[in-house]
């Protein structure tokens, strides 16, 4: 089995996949069937729509698991003139390679990851440069599917006159980066803005791409380059 395939051999990944299958089955064949009857036109339409969201969620989830987040190219050499505040180029003390901006070493993957956001236990993979969009789109589709499933569940419960059926819980996804720099700036009485925060629109297009028609496709990443340099606030000044 390939290295990518082995990522599925993880209890959290299998748990997420099982949960998605359970929510899909119970939403369609239990709650939706009791609410509208799958043989009716409204029931069939809602079943198709929910199945579409479920498929998109599953496809995005697989993309997160299988896509390599990005490693430092063997040919990478830091640009000394670009180094910030005349600092020496940073070198990983574990991989012994120079680290491009926003690159961090993952203790779980045991290598440096380009634009590392965090190591996600639920996909058994890092969220980095090449699968950041897939992760973002997965969260979006999973949220939409969860809301849809909740609507189906509540509608069924109202029709059943509040039968004691227990629903499923939603998971909260969040990011964490730059908190220490923000804390140090606030401590010294200075205002802080993340150096790679280039504005809402450019932040979005840097992840999802310039073509809005491809925003919701997790594998449309032709706009990504090498992942070793990123636009900063200084570029706009």
Active site residues: 120
3-state secondary structure the chain: CCHHHHCCCCHHHHHHHHHHHHHHHHHHHHHHHHHHCCCCHHHHHHHHHHHHHHHHHHHHHHHHHHCCCCCCCCCCCCCHHHCHHHCCCCECCCCCCECCCCCEEECCCCEEECCCCEEECCCCEEECCCCHHHHHHHHHHHHHHHHHHHHHHHHHHHHCCCCCCCCCCCCCCCCCCCHHHHHHHHHCCCCCCCCCCCCHHHHHHHHHCCCHHHCCCCCCCCCCCCCCCCCCHHHHC
């Amino acid at each position: 089995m390939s290295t990518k395939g082995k990522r599925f051999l993880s209890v959290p990944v299998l748990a997420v996949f099982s949960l998605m299958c359970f929510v899909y089955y119970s939403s369609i064949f239990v709650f939706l069937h009791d609410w509208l009857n799958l043989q009716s036109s409204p029931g069939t339409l809602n079943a198709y729509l929910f199945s579409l969201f479920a498929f998109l969620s599953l496809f995005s989830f697989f993309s997160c698991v299988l896509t390599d987040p990005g490693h430092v190219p063997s040919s990478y050499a830091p640009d000394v003139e670009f180094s910030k505040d005349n600092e020496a180029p940073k070198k990983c003390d574990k991989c012994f390679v120079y680290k491009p901006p926003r690159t961090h070493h993952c203790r779980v993957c045991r290598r440096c990851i380009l634009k590392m956001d965090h190591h996600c236990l639920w996909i058994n993979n890092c969220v980095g440069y090449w699968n950041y969009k897939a992760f973002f789109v997965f969260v979006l589709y999973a949220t939409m599917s969860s809301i849809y499933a909740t609507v189906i569940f509540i509608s069924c419960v109202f029709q059943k006159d509040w039968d004691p059926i227990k629903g499923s819980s939603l998971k909260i996804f969040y990011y964490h980066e730059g908190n220490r720099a923000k804390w140090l700036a606030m401590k010294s009485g200075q205002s802080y803005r993340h150096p790679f925060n280039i504005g809402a629109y450019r932040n979005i297009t840097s992840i999802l791409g310039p073509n809005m028609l491809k925003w919701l496709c997790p594998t449309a990443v032709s706009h990504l380059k090498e992942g070793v340099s990123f636009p900063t606030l200084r570029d706009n000044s």
